Amino acid sequence: CVDLGELRVIKKGRILKMEHKRSQWASNIGFILAAAGSAVGLGNIWKFPGKVAAGGGGAFLICYALIVLFVGFPVMLAELSIGRSTQKNVVGAFRRLNPRWSFAGGIGVLTLFVIMSYYSVVGGWVMKYIAVYLTGADFSAFGNDSSRFSAYFADFISRPAEPLLWGAAFLLLCIYVVVRGVSEGIERVSKFLMPGLFVLLTGIVVYAVTLDGAAEGLKYMLAVDPAKFNSGTVVAALGQAFFSLSVGMGIMVTYGSYVPRTENLAKSAGCICILDSLVALLSGLAIVPVVYITAGPEAMGMGGGFAFMALPEVFSRLPGGVFFGFAFFLLLFVAALTSAISILESCIAWLTEEFGFARLKATLLLVIPMSFLSAGYSLSQGAMDIKLPWFDFTNGVQYLPMNAVMEKFTDNLMIPLGALCFCLFVGWVWGTDNASKEIEASGHSMAWKRLWAFLVKFLAPAVIIVILYFTVGRGQGLS
Ligand code: TRP
């Protein structure tokens, strides 16, 4: 981002208004990398492989690809166009275009707030693993066979204090960066480190798919088994696609607001979707076959802990594995940190721009309630039995572990709801004509404008409503 400095409105020699001229991305590739850096995060590496495995392998992948293409991409483009047209944060953007729709921005901010509270806990786990590898990666307290890695992880996350401290450290680091506003530096650093993550991940994939017995695991991951295809697959794929693309919560409004009118928005949105999906697929290939070989198909349902249990196994077999492990978790940490900072930053932008709070005050106002949520997420992994009510129309009120409720709340309810608001707003309130004019402002005409308008007006909302019917109505969804 380059800051164009202050714009002063001077009348009769007096400064009437001092506004910050909005920052802009220095280059389009910078924008694409920054947006991809925000999109590529724990979701790709920590959530995706588990969901592929639990959601039916190939059936899930096909579903995921279709959803990215026909729902994720059009909604991302809709969000970017709102941002570039209004040059505002989410809530402000809606308020400018139609004040009655400010609530939709509010949905986005609330979603980000909850995501941030568990993101920082998982970010803490990543830091712990960096420390583990720095100190020689000794898992022998849990035996010598391959189950020692999952035993180690299970023991760690169910401890009361240690994960909390790591989570707090991660959150403090984010706060430190955000308060000082050095996102510039982070952005520049992530331009080097994100390609690094990519190269390392590719290396791990090559290794993982050439292990003895990997073919079986690959088959498990890629084969399309119609028996495994059900509404749960679709629900999980949609929640995951939106989470991973950072769509449905207004991030792309903010990012779009920094894009100059000369750039081709549609192409950029396409690149972001492709990069993000590629990293997710590579993580799946790096992790799923290995878990299959070492722990068998029964282990596939274990969801979130995947990266923390499967990869140490891979590293333990590699020559120089301790170094690989350290490098991998370090890069995962960078991916998580860049994402987390942009989540926190968006919440803070809302408080400072809409309520005029100073940055530090806004940060404190956010972080104090956030810490309680984080603590609940962390402790409910096993240290304490914290249950929260969760409602759906089929099962009524159920009491589920707090961590599950938090993930369900964002993935199954709030993100689809936010995305629905974006579609309905762009499709029916602001109008796809206005939006496509904004997208075409760069002079690149969109030949598939009418198809896009159809997707935003009809297909995407219909898919999202069906999904909400399954999550809220029938109590399905995998997270
Ligand atoms: N997309 C990120 C990931 O895959 C997570 C995420 C969700 C996010 N919402 C966000 C990141 C908003 C930045 C901003 O991990």
Using CA atoms, how far apart are residues 379 and 161, in angstroms rounded to an integer?
8
247 CA to middle of ligand 1, Å? 8
Using CA atoms, how far apart are residues 402 and 387, in angstroms rounded to an integer?
5
Using CA atoms, how far apart are residues 228 and 236, in angstroms rounded to an integer?
13
For residue 1, give both structure tokens: 């981002």
For residue 357, give both structure tokens: 């709070």
Task: Tell me the pLDDT tens digit for each residue of 195-244.
Answer: 888 888 898 889 888 888 889 889 888 988 888 778 888 888 888 898 89
For residue 464, give both structure tokens: 């999202």
For residue 298, give both structure tokens: 């029964």
Instruction: Find the range with the poorest average confidence among 101-115, 338-352, 376-390.
Output: 338-352
Residues in the chain: 479
Whether the CB-CB separation of 286 and 44 falls below 8 Å is answered with no
- E strand or H helix that includes residue 435: helix 432-439
Beta-ladder partners of 9: 17
Whether the CB-CB separation of 73 and 227 falls below 8 Å is answered with no
Whether the CB-CB separation of 156 and 163 falls below 8 Å is answered with yes
Reply yes or no on whether the pLDDT at 2 is more than 60: no
Task: Tell me the pLDDT tens digit for each residue of 65-108.
Answer: 999 999 999 999 999 999 999 988 888 899 999 999 989 999 99
Ligand 1 mutation target, pool 68, 243, 253, most atoms within 8 A of CB: 243
Task: Tell me the pLDDT tens digit for each residue of 317-332.
Answer: 877 889 888 988 988 8
Using CA atoms, how far apart are residues 21 and 7, in angstroms rounded to an integer?
6
Residue type, 176: Y
Unique residue bearing structure tokens 């969000």:
79
Using CA atoms, how far apart are residues 241 and 117, in angstroms rounded to an integer?
20
Pocket of ligand 1 (CB under 6 A): 38-39, 41-44, 112, 115, 243-244, 246, 249, 251, 339, 342-343
Q: Are strands 396-401 and 6-11 parallel, antiparallel or unpaired?
A: unpaired
